[in-house]
């Protein structure tokens, strides 16, 4: 077990290349995230082999040196990456998320960021939101959590046992851990995607499989050469197949992870026999060895650089720039390996000194993080103050005032210094809706959810997703002014028509959407409101469902909620920015027009919007289009007056929603004077 395995070093190269190319969206490695699973198997194999040997020889005295070696191996380079990321985020990053980034840094220090990400609902496969710059530390957290417990279990398994009994106890423990973890991975990956993706409980089986291979080395070394060679090539092919065929829509880890995980185990097991015709022919070559040697540093540095680079240059990176970034991240990893990683690995300190280093590293990260929070980038602009827009007069006059402000926003030369909310708080400026009124993925039954004037005789129901719910502040305001009872029933990423689209953040099946939709339609029919306002995001599946079918199914929903005495209006989505607008403004404080959206892009893809508007008009359904008050002169600004329009990649701020209240005053007119 003590000999160097060049094939495993080469397998590290395969793992890191798949991960980096996936994160850079290069060479069609749509499932490159499986490289992390390969790392888990390698780690389980190598660490268990070392632990079993040292604990067998030294008992509990092996624990302190083991944890000291883990600190020496991992912490210096990791701490350097975290500190550099905080500094880079402060220089080029966003005024919008300094506290979140610093908090992530704290959690990386204590290897708990995987559960922070799960608790925050950070979707690894979410295409709409830029991920946290330290998100990739989740896998290191899983490993260290496993190795916090695993040595203790080995000690228990070895307690007062003969040599054969020790191995048997450990094998049984690994089989139980692996079976339970694999079951949880299969059972939870669809229903709890974030917790299953980031959790130790659904990943422990991958480390356990590597550990089982470590316990069976003496048998693997006796494998026939041809069989061992075949195992290595089959395993490598399985990893490659998963990397090129899995996508963000794959339920993961689930049972799908068996393919790359078993593949990695086959490569390692077959390599124990050192077959001359095995995958070592590829893995043992110089480029693979160099890449494998740098794999830890490359893993640490590549992701923050990928996230910060577009912010530093001020635009999304094209393919050639991403290829350049591939080279840059490798060079940074090589420098980190030479300057940080290797000098510390050569140190022969006592465990107590390494533990002291761990405490000092945590303190350094905490200090740098607190400084970043205390002295964030400006959250307002350098431009002169802009008067807060105060609407007056008739609805038509108010709409004219808004259009004038929109045109002025397109011409703004700097972000005003009285921006409200400022960019640090724009992301949180959304509607305040209880969890039983706007449902998450799993829930299907809403509460009463009454806003506006609860005592009013007239009722309007808002029915849709978050793109509909974002307008609740405006309807609540109009409801109070014009005496309407406003009922808001919504569900995350769920269409109002009967299209079985996957959950947009994960690509997983979303049957709860249909259940909620059917229940809510029945509640609307039972309530018999005067107005039903339906709508939402149009492009969940684009270009999946044909335009004519999407339109027909939408009209089916409109008819389903219609009834004598009930008018149905359709609310088109707002101008779609597709990029994080507060982040864009934070990066372009002196040129906010850079963040303006051309009308053609804001309504794209226009075919579904156009066809739906025509079909609704033919069916005599009133169409309410926010873009009429969000765009002018061919563009849609990111700031109107002193108000940021958007709070993320899709939704408007609650402050701006209230500004567009006149748009909904036509839907909810005041009671006629008798």
Lowest average pLDDT, out of 156-170, 196-210, 556-570, goes to: 156-170
Per-residue pLDDT tens over the stretch 307-344:
888 877 767 788 899 999 999 999 999 999 999 999 99
Question: 507: left (phi > 0), else alpha (psi -120 to 50), else beta?
Answer: left
pLDDT in the model for residue 65 = 86
pLDDT in the model for residue 443 = 84
pLDDT in the model for residue 94 = 64
Alpha-carbon span 287 to 441, nearest angstrom: 45
pLDDT in the model for residue 513 = 92
Closest CA to 495 of 477, 478, 510, 475: 510
Task: Tell me the CB-side half-sphere exposure of residue 496, using CA atoms within 13 A.
Answer: 35
- Classify residue 119 as exposed, middle or buried by CB count within 10 Å of its CB (0-12, 13-18, 19+): exposed
pLDDT at 1 over 90: no
Could you give phi then psi for residue 490, rounded to 5 degrees? -140, 165
pLDDT at 2 over 70: no
Please give the structure tokens belonging to residue 197.
Answer: 């993706």
pLDDT at 163 over 70: no
pLDDT in the model for residue 120 = 76
Coil vs helix vs strand at 439: strand
The fraction of the chain above a pLDDT of 90, given in percent, is: 59
Alpha-carbon span 47 to 159, nearest angstrom: 20
Closest CA to 223 of 182, 146, 277, 302: 277
9, 294 Cβ separation under 8 angstroms: no
Per-residue pLDDT tens over the stretch 112-147:
999 988 887 777 766 555 688 899 999 999 999 999
Lowest average pLDDT, out of 94-108, 266-280, 357-371, 476-490, goes to: 94-108
pLDDT in the model for residue 24 = 94
Coil vs helix vs strand at 5: coil
DSSP assignment of 240-308 equals HHHHHH--TTS-TTTTTTHHHHHHHHHHHHHHTT--TTSTHHHHTSHHHHHHHHTHHHHHHHHHHHHHH
DSSP β-ladder status, 485-491 and 531-535: unpaired
The residue that leads in pLDDT, 492 or 242, is: 242
Helices (H), 110-136: 113-120
Alpha-carbon span 12 to 7, nearest angstrom: 9
Q: How far is CA 89 from CA 29, 60, 121, 429, 494, in A?
A: 28, 42, 22, 22, 34
Please give the structure tokens belonging to residue 457.
Answer: 């005789």
Alpha-carbon span 484 to 668, nearest angstrom: 7
473, 654 Cβ separation under 8 angstroms: yes
Residues 6+ apart with CB under 8 A from 558: 534, 568, 570, 616, 619, 621
CA dihedral 560, 563, 567, 573 (to 10 degrees): -10
Alpha-carbon span 402 to 659, nearest angstrom: 8
pLDDT at 195 over 60: yes
pLDDT in the model for residue 41 = 98
pLDDT in the model for residue 40 = 97
Per-residue pLDDT tens over the stretch 599-656:
888 876 678 889 999 999 999 999 999 999 999 988 999 999 999 999 988 899 999 9
Confidence of residue 189 (pLDDT cuts 50, 70, 90): confident
Rg of the chain taking only CA atoms, in angstroms:
29
Helix axes 295-313 and 63-92, enclosed angle (nearest 10): 10
Alpha-carbon span 250 to 262, nearest angstrom: 17
249, 510 Cβ separation under 8 angstroms: no
Confidence of residue 407 (pLDDT cuts 50, 70, 90): very high
Please give the structure tokens belonging to residue 26.
Answer: 């290069």
pLDDT at 575 over 60: yes
One-letter-per-residue 3-state SS of 562-631:
CECCEEEEEECCCCCCCCCHHHHHHHCCCCHHHHCEEHHHHCCCHHHHHHHHHHHHHCCCEEECHHHHCC
Per-residue pLDDT tens over the stretch 428-439:
899 988 878 898
Q: What is the mean pLDDT of the chain?
A: 89
pLDDT in the model for residue 602 = 80
Per-residue pLDDT tens over the stretch 481-519:
999 999 999 998 899 999 887 777 656 678 889 999 999
Per-residue pLDDT tens over the stretch 17-27:
999 999 999 99
Average pLDDT estimate for 362-389: 83
pLDDT in the model for residue 201 = 95
pLDDT in the model for residue 506 = 58
pLDDT in the model for residue 543 = 63
- Classify residue 172 as exposed, middle or buried by CB count within 10 Å of its CB (0-12, 13-18, 19+): exposed
Alpha-carbon span 451 to 273, nearest angstrom: 71
200, 146 Cβ separation under 8 angstroms: yes
Confidence of residue 179 (pLDDT cuts 50, 70, 90): very high
pLDDT at 62 over 90: no
Q: Cis (ω within 30 of 0) for the bond into 359?
A: no
pLDDT in the model for residue 337 = 96
pLDDT in the model for residue 96 = 56
DSSP character for 413?
S
The fraction of the chain above a pLDDT of 70, given in percent, is: 95
């Amino acid at each position: 077990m003590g000999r160097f395995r060049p094939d495993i070093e080469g397998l590290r190269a395969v793992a890191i290349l798949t991960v980096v190319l996936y994160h850079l969206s290069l060479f069609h490695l749509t499932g490159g995230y499986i490289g992390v699973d390969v790392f888990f198997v390698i780690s389980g194999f190598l660490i268990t082999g070392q632990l079993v040997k040292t604990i067998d020889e030294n008992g509990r005295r092996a624990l302190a040196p083991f944890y000291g070696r883990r600190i020496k191996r991992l912490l210096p380079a990791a701490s350097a990456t975290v500190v550099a990321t905080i500094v880079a985020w402060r220089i080029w990053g966003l005024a919008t998320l300094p506290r979140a980034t610093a908090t992530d840094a704290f959690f990386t220090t204590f290897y708990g960021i995987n559960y922070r990400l799960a608790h925050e609902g950070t979707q690894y496969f979410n295409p709409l939101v830029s991920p946290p710059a330290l998100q990739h530390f989740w896998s290191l957290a899983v490993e260290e959590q496993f190795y916090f417990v695993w040595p203790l279990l080995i000690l228990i398994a070895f307690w007062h046992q003969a040599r054969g009994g020790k191995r048997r106890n450990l094998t049984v423990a690994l089989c139980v851990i692996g079976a339970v973890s694999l079951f949880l991975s299969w059972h939870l990956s669809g229903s709890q995607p974030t917790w299953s993706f980031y959790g130790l409980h659904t990943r422990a089986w991958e480390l356990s499989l590597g550990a089982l291979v470590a316990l069976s080395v003496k048998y693997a070394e006796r494998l026939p050469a041809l069989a061992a060679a075949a195992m290595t090539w089959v395993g490598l092919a399985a990893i490659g197949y998963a990397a090129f065929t899995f996508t963000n829509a794959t339920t993961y880890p689930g049972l799908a992870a068996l393919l790359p995980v078993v593949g990695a185990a086959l490569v390692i097991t077959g390599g124990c026999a050192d077959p001359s015709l095995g995958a070592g022919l590829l893995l043992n070559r110089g480029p693979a060895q160099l890449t494998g040697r740098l794999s830890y540093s490359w893993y640490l540095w590549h992701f923050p650089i990928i996230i910060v680079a577009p912010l530093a240059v001020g635009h999304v990176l094209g393919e050639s720039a991403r290829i350049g970034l591939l080279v840059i991240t490798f060079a940074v990893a090589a420098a980190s390996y030479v300057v940080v990683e290797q000098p510390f690995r050569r140190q022969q300190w006592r465990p107590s000194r390494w533990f002291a280093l761990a405490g000092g590293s945590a303190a350094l990260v905490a200090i740098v993080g607190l400084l970043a929070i205390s002295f964030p980038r400006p959250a307002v602009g350098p431009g002169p103050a802009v008067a807060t827009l105060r609407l007056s007069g008739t609805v038509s006059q108010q709409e004219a005032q808004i259009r004038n402000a929109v045109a002025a926003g397109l011409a703004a030369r700097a972000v005003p210094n009285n921006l409200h909310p400022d960019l640090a708080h724009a992301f949180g400026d959304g509607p305040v809706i209880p969890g039983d009124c706007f449902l998450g993925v799993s829930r299907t039954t809403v509460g009463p959810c009454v806003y506006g004037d609860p005592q009013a005789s007239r009722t309007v129901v808002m029915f849709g997703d978050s793109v509909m719910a974002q307008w609740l502040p405006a309807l609540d305001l109009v409801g109070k002014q014009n005496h309407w009872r406003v009922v808001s029933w919504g569900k995350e990423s769920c269409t109002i028509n009967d299209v079985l689209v996957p959950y947009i953040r994960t690509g997983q099946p979303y049957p709860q959407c249909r259940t909620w939709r059917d229940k809510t339609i029945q509640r609307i029919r039972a309530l018999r409101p005067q107005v039903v306002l339906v709508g939402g995001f149009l492009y969940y599946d684009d270009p999946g469902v044909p335009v004519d079918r999407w339109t027909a199914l939408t009209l089916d929903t409109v008819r389903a909620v219609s009834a004598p005495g009930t008018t149905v209006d359709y609310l088109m989505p707002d101008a779609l920015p597709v990029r994080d607008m507060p982040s864009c403004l934070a990066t372009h404080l002196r040129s906010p027009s850079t963040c303006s959206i051309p009308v053609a892009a804001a309504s794209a893809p226009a075919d579904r919007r156009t066809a739906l508007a025509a079909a609704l008009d033919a069916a005599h359904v009133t169409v309410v289009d926010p873009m009429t008050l969000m765009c002018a002169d061919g563009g849609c600004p990111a700031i109107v007056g002193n108000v940021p329009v958007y709070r993320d990649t899709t939704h408007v701020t609650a402050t701006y929603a209230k500004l567009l209240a006149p748009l909904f005053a036509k839907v909810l007119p005041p009671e006629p004077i008798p």
